[in-house]
């Protein structure tokens, strides 16, 4: 059985990808289990992953290169690295910029150097739609619409992480693939992401925080579509950047209204000052992903919300002590 390395294995997307790939690969998972958001959710994911037969876990901080030595022979003979480990969140990046540099740029740099030393053939580094900024009525296109001045510290650290990996591994010996994700949601999602927070707050009768007027539009993308895209990249033998997102945008107010109807409960909304450099709309151009990978999103927003709400209710007791607000929001 071939081995594959996944960083951020206990993260939202990493958890779902590991659960899928362990049927075909021996998955070597790395995660620092840091407190970028409440680690209780990461621990819950890890508890489930440890039940899998073809999964081996290492608690490692990739921003410390020497920690990779802990893995000894486990990372030998790995052809593919999927680097999902990162620190996400635009607002929080202005409060802890040094941590974002460590986790998004330094960690990516260290992993790229080690991958080069070990002869890794394919390096997939996950990135973000935040790099495109506000797309307006235009669709963000790979290799065309990246901003020289990224719209946030978070976006800047992710973009520079991409740049470092491409510079370190830019030879014919390596395939470098960069999937850019657009507002991912679903079961086991991050508690600082809008949809899961909205579900929790409305279901529990807590105040719903909205930064701005709620008319910001996002390409909400269900996690199984993202994982499907990543699995297609594993089989694709060319370098490139690929957008993975929904082909439709919804405003935050639209999403809250849908959740209200599904939960049959009214949201108590507190509209707060809009976040610094927040964007109005982000819409992906999916032509490249469709033509090169045969990938299109399959789960529409209503179906995705239903699946997420069902999961939330099932795990409600385990989620009872998970923090859905940052300290600065209290």
Q: Where are the domains of the chain?
A: 3-329
Token output for 109: 């740099």
**Catalytic-role residue among 154, 185, 236, 312:** 154
C-alpha distances (whole Å) from 79 to each of 8, 18, 25, 112, 164 are 18, 16, 11, 13, 20
Q: What is the pTM of this model?
A: 0.95
Task: Please tell me the predicted confidence (pLDDT) of residue 112.
Answer: 95
pLDDT confidence tier of residue 143, bands split at 50, 70 and 90: confident
Task: Please tell me the predicted confidence (pLDDT) of residue 82.
Answer: 98
Q: Can you tell me the distance from the alpha carbon of 203 to that of 6, in angstroms, rounded to the nearest whole number?
A: 33
Mean pLDDT of 173-197: 96
Mean pLDDT of 202-207: 96
pLDDT confidence tier of residue 197, bands split at 50, 70 and 90: very high
Among 82, 86, 60, 83, smallest CA distance to 72 is for 60
pLDDT confidence tier of residue 140, bands split at 50, 70 and 90: confident
pLDDT at residue 313 is higher than 80: yes
**Which of these ranges, 52-56, 148-152, 255-259, 310-314, has the smallest mean pLDDT?**
148-152
Task: Please tell me the predicted confidence (pLDDT) of residue 259.
Answer: 98
Q: Can you tell me the distance from the alpha carbon of 52 to that of 316, in angstroms, rounded to the nearest whole number?
A: 23
pLDDT confidence tier of residue 65, bands split at 50, 70 and 90: confident
Task: Please tell me the predicted confidence (pLDDT) of residue 144.
Answer: 67
Q: Can you tell me the distance from the alpha carbon of 315 to that of 318, in angstroms, rounded to the nearest whole number?
A: 5
Task: Please tell me the predicted confidence (pLDDT) of residue 279.
Answer: 84
Respond yes or no: is residue 25 known to be catalytic: no
Percent of the chain whose predicted confidence (pLDDT) is above 70: 96
pLDDT at residue 123 is higher than 60: yes
pLDDT confidence tier of residue 171, bands split at 50, 70 and 90: confident
**Which of these ranges, 11-25, 55-69, 203-217, 233-247, has the smallest mean pLDDT?**
55-69
Q: Can you tell me the distance from the alpha carbon of 45 to that of 106, in angstroms, rounded to the nearest whole number?
A: 25
pLDDT confidence tier of residue 278, bands split at 50, 70 and 90: confident
pLDDT confidence tier of residue 187, bands split at 50, 70 and 90: very high
pLDDT confidence tier of residue 148, bands split at 50, 70 and 90: low
pLDDT at residue 7 is higher than 60: yes
pLDDT confidence tier of residue 134, bands split at 50, 70 and 90: confident
Domain 3-329, architecture per CATH: 3-Layer(aba) Sandwich (3.40)
Mean pLDDT of 222-231: 98
Average pLDDT, the chain: 92
């Amino acid at each position: 059985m071939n081995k594959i390395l996944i960083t951020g294995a206990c993260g939202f997307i990493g958890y779902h990808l590991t659960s899928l790939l362990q049927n075909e690969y021996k998955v070597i998972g790395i995660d620092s289990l840091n407190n970028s958001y409440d680690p209780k959710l990461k621990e819950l994911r890890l508890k489930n992953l440890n039940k899998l037969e073809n999964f081996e876990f290492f608690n490692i901080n990739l921003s410390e290169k020497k920690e990779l030595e802990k893995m000894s022979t486990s990372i030998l003979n790995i052809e593919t690295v999927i680097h999902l480990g990162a620190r996400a969140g635009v607002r929080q990046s202005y409060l802890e910029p040094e941590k974002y540099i460590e986790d998004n740029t330094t960690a990516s740099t260290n992993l790229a150097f080690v991958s080069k030393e070990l002869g890794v053939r394919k390096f997939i580094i996950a990135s973000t739609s935040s790099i495109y900024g506000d797309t307006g009525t235009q669709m963000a296109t790979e290799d065309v619409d990246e901003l020289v001045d990224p719209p946030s510290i978070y976006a800047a650290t992710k973009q520079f992480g991409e740049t470092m990996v491409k510079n370190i591994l830019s030879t014919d010996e390596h395939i470098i693939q960069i999937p850019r994700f657009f507002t991912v949601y679903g079961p086991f999602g991050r508690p600082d992401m809008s949809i899961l927070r909205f579900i929790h707050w409305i279901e529990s009768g807590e105040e719903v925080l909205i930064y701005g007027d709620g008319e910001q539009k996002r390409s909400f993308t269900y996690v199984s579509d993202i994982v499907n895209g990543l699995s297609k990249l594993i089989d694709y033998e060319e370098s490139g950047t690929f957008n993975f997102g929904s082909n439709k945008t919804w405003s935050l107010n639209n999403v809250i209204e849908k959740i209200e109807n599904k939960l049959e409960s009214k949201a108590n909304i507190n509209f707060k000052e809009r976040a610094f450099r927040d964007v109005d709309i982000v819409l992906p151009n999916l032509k490249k992903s469709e033509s090169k990978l045969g990938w299109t999103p399959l789960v529409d927003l209503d179906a995705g919300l239903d699946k997420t709400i069902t999961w939330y209710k099932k795990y409600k007791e385990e989620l009872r002590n998970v923090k859905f607000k940052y300290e600065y929001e209290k």
